[in-house]
Amino acid sequence: MFRLYYLIFVIANIGIGTNGVSPKSKVRYFPDGFIFGASTSSYQIEGGAFDDGKGLSIWDIATHMDPSPIRDQSTGDIATDSYNLYKRDVEIMNEIGLDFYRFSVSWPRVLPGGFSNYINQAGINYYNNLINEMLKNNIVPFLTIYHWDLPQELQKLGGWANPAIVDWFTDYANVLFEHFGDRVKYWMTINEPKQICYEGYGSDKKAPMVNISGVAEYLCAKNVLLAHASAYRLYDEVYRERQNGTVGIAISFTWAEPASDSEEDQQAALDARQFDWGQYTNPIYSKDGDFPIEMKRNIAAKSAEQGFKRSRLPELTAAEVMTIRGSADFLALNTYSSKLVYRDASVDGMYAVPSYMDDMGTVFIKDPTWPQAESSWLQEVPWGFYKLLLEVNRLYDNPRIYVTENGWSTAGGLQDEDRIRYLRNYLSALLDALEAGCDVRGYCVWSMIDNFEWMAGYSEKFGLYEVDFSSPDRSRTPRKSAFVYKEIIKSKSLNPHFEPDVYLEEVVAIEDKVKDEDVAYNE
């Protein structure tokens, strides 16, 4: 039962406006066994950054830099305070009716120094309590081992650019398998390798902001793949028989659509897809393994032009290819948007500065007619989601897929008609993909509650529940989208005409109260 009140306006007719895709007017049903969830991650919601023996992460360091690189100068020190309010979070899971909840473990909360020689029991207790509370309420835990909060002590040693991290990560995964594997049956080793490697090591878009493009992200990519495969092989050899779980990896996907029908732009779109996600999916899920040929070709050619004695893309040995290939029971697919792509030849020759974008040789643009979210990078393009699922099906022999992140950002407020439209249109595209034969087993919205959105801080809201970050108790209030998603889960159907009950008087009172509090807080 949803607590608090809720504010819902009568909906005006809303069109999709996404390149000719029109809303389905009939009720559509999800197949038997299809499951629905919601996602969060440790640094983004837990808080308790310095409590109970937790070590420092690279995000604890980044958010306390002076000047702050975070848009609103905020931190995750408290965030939504889920470290103390996890029972309220499980209540929310029940209120929505989730089948599963995807969360991550904070590496430095469990291993404060990064290494497995010392295990912080308070950290183990917290995740035991969370998992047990979920199971008590029939919520299936989907656990992500690593979602970007690397222990700072390991970053001092090079972090994901140091090959030794393969062993460090495997040791960490072993601790989690040992402590939680009796109850956790769905594991994701690493969340979004591209964001770790390109944004964290090849640029300054994410912590640790190493920003050595054209080199650091490729060192990172190889080590991430080997670390994932090592943890998978460990589970396979030591834990699978007695714990009977499954292990995958969460990879971010953006559909790259050619900006024209020209052969050049068609190839540019293919290159973009291989650099964006193929460099991580191809080694694991393809029959041949290894980095995509487009990456190997482009980076080798650019490296030679720039005077390097060898390609800046590290080679995977035959043994490493074998270790990585097939190291997943399922694909955890994160996707939000699509981009138009054209070929960029503006930088060429021996004087070009090494960079990931130059190696790719493409430019990403957006169609101005696509609906725009609060996040500049996020537009609503449901047909791109459909094309993406079909392409993954074709390339990787129809792998078992869980969509583990998909969502829409707003500036805040309880009336989120655009989020509802986005969710319905993307779920409709998913149903189209299911009808076309794609093996998608579940869908997970990002995110269950508002949280710390990395470099954007708290300025972008993705939650089905609004969090009042000015309140000491971090109160959570359901948005309209929470009620719509609840009905989708309950009915296992997509009904474009469904409207939650309207409690207009209560709603207006709540909205006025929230506005008054916001004004007082800002003053």
Question: Would you say residue 5 has pLDDT above 80?
Answer: no
pLDDT in tens, 124-176: 999 999 999 999 999 999 999 999 999 999 999 999 999 999 999 999 999 99
Q: Are 352 and 302 in contact (CB under 8 A)?
A: yes
Q: Are 377 and 365 in contact (CB under 8 A)?
A: no
Tell whether 15 is covered by a domain. Answer: no
pLDDT of residue 293: 97
Tell whether 476 is covered by a domain. Answer: yes
| Nearest Cα to Cα of residue 341 among 286, 276, 251 | 276
Give the CATH number for residue 289: 3.20.20.80
Q: Are 259 and 231 in contact (CB under 8 A)?
A: no
Question: Would you say residue 12 has pLDDT above 70?
Answer: no
pLDDT of residue 521: 43
Mean pLDDT of 200-221: 98
Question: Would you say residue 9 has pLDDT above 80?
Answer: no
pLDDT in tens, 217-269: 999 999 999 999 999 999 999 999 999 999 999 999 999 999 999 999 999 99
Asked if the bond preceding 258 is cis, omega within 30° of 0, the reply is no
Residue 406's pLDDT band, with cuts at 50, 70 and 90, is very high
| Nearest Cα to Cα of residue 316 among 432, 438, 222, 217 | 222
Question: Would you say residue 298 has pLDDT above 70?
Answer: yes
Tell whether 1 is covered by a domain. Answer: no
3-class state of residue 402 by DSSP: strand
Catalytic residue (one of 95, 257, 294, 405): 405
Tell whether 335 is covered by a domain. Answer: yes
| Nearest Cα to Cα of residue 496 among 425, 442, 430 | 425
pLDDT of residue 252: 98
Tell whether 81 is covered by a domain. Answer: yes
State the average pLDDT for the chain.
92
Name residue 288's amino acid. Answer: D
Count the neighbouring beta carbons within 10 Å of the beta carbon of residue 88.
Answer: 18
Per the structure, the complete domain to which residue 100 belongs is given by 28-521
Partner residues linked to 443 by β-bridges: 36, 403
pLDDT of residue 25: 75
Question: Would you say residue 14 has pLDDT above 80?
Answer: no
CA 360 to chain centre: 23
pLDDT of residue 68: 98
- Domain total of the chain: 1
Residue 514's pLDDT band, with cuts at 50, 70 and 90, is low
CA 275 to chain centre: 18
Count the neighbouring beta carbons within 10 Å of the beta carbon of residue 348.
Answer: 12
pLDDT in tens, 74-133: 999 999 999 999 999 999 999 999 999 999 999 999 999 999 999 999 999 999 999 999
Count the neighbouring beta carbons within 10 Å of the beta carbon of residue 174.
Answer: 17
pLDDT of residue 516: 59
Residue 504's pLDDT band, with cuts at 50, 70 and 90, is very low
Residue 352's pLDDT band, with cuts at 50, 70 and 90, is low
pLDDT of residue 510: 55
Tell whether 410 is covered by a domain. Answer: yes
405 is catalytic: yes
Name residue 340's amino acid. Answer: L
Vertex 351, ends 346 and 356: CA angle to 5°?
Answer: 60
Question: Is beta strand 362-365 parallel, antiparallel or unpaired with respect to 140-146?
Answer: unpaired
Residue 17's region, left for phi above 0, alpha for psi from -120 to 50, else beta, is left
Question: Would you say residue 444 has pLDDT above 90?
Answer: yes
pLDDT of residue 518: 52
192 is catalytic: yes
Q: What share of the chain is helix, strand, coil (3-state, %, to 5)?
A: 40, 15, 40
Asked if the bond preceding 116 is cis, omega within 30° of 0, the reply is no
Question: Would you say residue 10 has pLDDT above 50?
Answer: no
CA atoms within 13 A on the CB side of 515: 6
- E-strand stretches of 113-181: 140-146
SS3 track for 391-441: HHHHHCCCCCEEEEECCCCECCCCCCHHHHHHHHHHHHHHHHHHHCCCCEE
pLDDT of residue 509: 54
Tell whether 4 is covered by a domain. Answer: no
Q: Which residues are CB-contacts of 266 (< 8 A; sequence separation ≥ 6)?
A: 258
- Containing 35, the helix (H) or strand (E) segment is strand 35-39
Q: Which residues are CB-contacts of 155 (< 8 A; sequence separation ≥ 6)?
A: 58, 61, 208
Q: Which residue has the higher pLDDT, 388 or 16?
A: 388
Catalytic residue (one of 192, 217, 320, 380): 192
pLDDT of residue 118: 98
Q: What percent of the chain has pLDDT over 70?
A: 90
Q: Are 142 and 186 in contact (CB under 8 A)?
A: yes
Tell whether 329 is covered by a domain. Answer: yes
